[in-house]
């Protein structure tokens, strides 16, 4: 698969594959929608088993299964097919790690008109601080988005709390905390810690539902506000700002970090996690793509490198600022500390 995307090819195969890229995504979503990976996990391994389990013809089963196998979503073992490890972990329905809803949201509800990206790129009109996606958000939109996001977020939150020890901390402020997963996992791990999720008004209604569902309403609260404009709740000794970098311009990111520094407790720590560019801005592609996404939002959002985020934190007063790979280099964490005095 990989060599198809090698830019040094002499033929046009890579270009053909890029032109067809949306078909690969459609295959992936159809497989999720049919429940292919769930059925394979539950024991439908041959083409005949799979056709029966999905209630489709054997010819169509062969078509989708062979394409998924070519994409290494399924692996062939003789006449049988099994899920690749990441598929088995994240795309089998009924598991708490199931992320199918997230991918289906992006395919079916993505607010961006990617077929007309060139037209959006030609626009020269004014840009806004808060992207259009957020301005028009209703409670129902937020509920649909976070239904997909929650499982992904819980996975990220578990990863965060495995690599960062906040056991001695008292209060987490999660700016743009969405469904509240970082605070929920902290509260599940540490009996004393409390959390505040600060998010836009329609979102916090949904946040409260997730917090209640996880039985944490006594220790985790949700506060409505816009972190680009409103004051932050004071006194947190852990501040999180995750999944929100590319939506904002460098000056705004610096202002958010400065406000967080001023509002937080002495001796506190701040973590910023999102898709950051390499220092030479040559990649990774997901970080560049999230910056590009903001074209549709008429926002000032763009990619930021990890070194830039580190500089923003140091300029605000944070010390011992370090850059860490969170999910390889594709999602990074920049962490800094406020020192008393
Ligand atoms: C991509 S989600 C990330 C959720 C979570 N922080 C995470 O990393 O998993 C972005 C969240 O930030 C919130 N958000 C974005 N801009 C905001 C703003 N200006 N003020 C408050 N919340 C904001 C969104 O409503 C959404 O819930």
* 149 CA to centre of own chain: 7
pLDDT of the residue at 4? 78
- Residue 134 beta carbon below 6 angstroms from any ligand 1 atom: yes
pLDDT of the residue at 207? 98
Best mutation site among 176, 184, 247, 276 for ligand 1, i.e. most ligand atoms within 8 A of its Cβ? 176
- Residue 210 beta carbon below 6 angstroms from any ligand 1 atom: no
Q: Which residues of the chain have pLDDT under 50?
A: none
Kindly give the number of the ligand 1 atom that is closest to the alpha carbon of 146: 27
Q: Which helix (H) or strand (E) holds 321?
A: strand 319-326
| Residues 326, 108, 20: CA angle, nearest 5 degrees | 80
49: which residues sit within 8 A by CB, 6+ positions away?
A: 43
- Residue 203 beta carbon below 6 angstroms from any ligand 1 atom: yes
- Residue 242 beta carbon below 6 angstroms from any ligand 1 atom: yes
pLDDT of the residue at 55? 98
- Residue 222 beta carbon below 6 angstroms from any ligand 1 atom: no
Best mutation site among 159, 208, 244, 297 for ligand 1, i.e. most ligand atoms within 8 A of its Cβ? 244
pLDDT of the residue at 2? 56
Kindly give the number of the ligand 1 atom that is closest to the alpha carbon of 149: 9
Kindly give the number of the ligand 1 atom that is closest to the alpha carbon of 244: 10
Q: Hey, which residues does 220 pair with through a beta bridge? A: 195
d(CA 1, CA 72): 9
The DSSP annotation for 103-124 comes to HHHHHHH----GGGHHHHHH--
| SS3 labels along 169-233 | CCEEEEECCCCCHHHHHHHHHCCCCEEEEEECHHHHHHHHHHHHHCCCCCCEEEEECCCCCCCCC
**Under CATH, which number does the domain 2-93 receive?**
1.10.10.10
- Residue 227 beta carbon below 6 angstroms from any ligand 1 atom: yes
pLDDT of the residue at 236? 98
Going from the C-alpha of 252 to that of each of 224, 238, 257, 287, the distances in angstroms are 19, 21, 9, 18
C-alpha 182 to ligand 1 mean position (Å): 12
- Residue 200 beta carbon below 6 angstroms from any ligand 1 atom: yes
pLDDT mean across residues, the chain: 96
pLDDT of the residue at 326? 98
Give span(s): CATH 3.40.50.150, the chain. Answer: 107-337
- Residue 178 beta carbon below 6 angstroms from any ligand 1 atom: yes
pLDDT of the residue at 262? 98
- Residue 139 beta carbon below 6 angstroms from any ligand 1 atom: no
pLDDT of the residue at 6? 84
Give span(s): CATH 1.10.10.10, the chain. Answer: 2-93
- Residue 291 beta carbon below 6 angstroms from any ligand 1 atom: no
Q: Whose CA is nearest to atom 5 of ligand 1?
A: 177
Place of tokens 């169509």: 60
What fold, for 107-337? Answer: Rossmann fold (3.40.50)
Kindly give the number of the ligand 1 atom that is closest to the alpha carbon of 129: 19
The DSSP annotation for 74-90 comes to EEEETTEEEE-HHHHHH
């Amino acid at each position: 698969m990989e060599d198809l995307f090698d830019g040094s090819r002499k033929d046009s195969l890579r270009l053909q594959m890029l032109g067809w890229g949306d078909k690969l995504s459609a295959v992936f979503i159809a497989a999720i929608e049919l429940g292919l990976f769930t059925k394979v996990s539950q024991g439908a391994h041959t083409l005949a088993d799979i056709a029966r389990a999905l209630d489709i013809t054997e010819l169509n089963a062969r078509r989708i299964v062979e394409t998924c196998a070519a994409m290494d979503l399924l692996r062939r073992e003789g006449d049988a097919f099994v899920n690749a490890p990441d598929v088995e972990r994240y795309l089998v329905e009924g598991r708490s790690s199931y992320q199918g809803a997230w991918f289906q949201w992006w395919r079916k509800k993505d607010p961006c008109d990617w077929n007309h990206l060139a037209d959006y790129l030609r626009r020269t009109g004014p840009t806004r601080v808060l992207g259009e996606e957020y301005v028009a958000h209703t409670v129902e939109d937020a509920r649909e988005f976070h239904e997909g996001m929650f499982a992904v977020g819980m996975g990220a939150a578990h990863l965060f709390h495995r690599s960062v020890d906040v056991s001695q901390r008292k209060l987490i402020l999660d700016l743009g905390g969405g469904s509240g997963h970082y605070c929920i996992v902290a509260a599940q791990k540490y009996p004393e810690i409390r959390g505040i999720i600060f998010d836009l008004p329609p979102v916090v209604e949904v946040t409260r539902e997730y917090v209640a569902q996880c039985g944490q309403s006594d220790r985790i609260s949700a506060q409505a506000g816009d972190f680009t404009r409103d004051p932050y709740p004071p006194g947190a000794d852990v501040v999180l700002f995750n999944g929100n970098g590319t939506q904002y311009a460098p000056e705004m990111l610096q202002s958010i970090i400065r406000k967080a520094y001023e509002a937080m407790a002495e001796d506190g720590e701040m973590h910023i996690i999102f898709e950051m560019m390499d220092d030479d801005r040559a990649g990774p592609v997901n970080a560049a793509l999230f910056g590009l996404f903001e074209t549709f939002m008429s926002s000032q959002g763009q990619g930021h490198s990890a070194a830039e985020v580190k500089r923003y934190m140091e300029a605000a007063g944070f010390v011992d600022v370090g850059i860490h790979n969170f999910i390889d280099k594709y999602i990074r964490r920049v962490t800094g500390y406020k020192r008393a005095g």
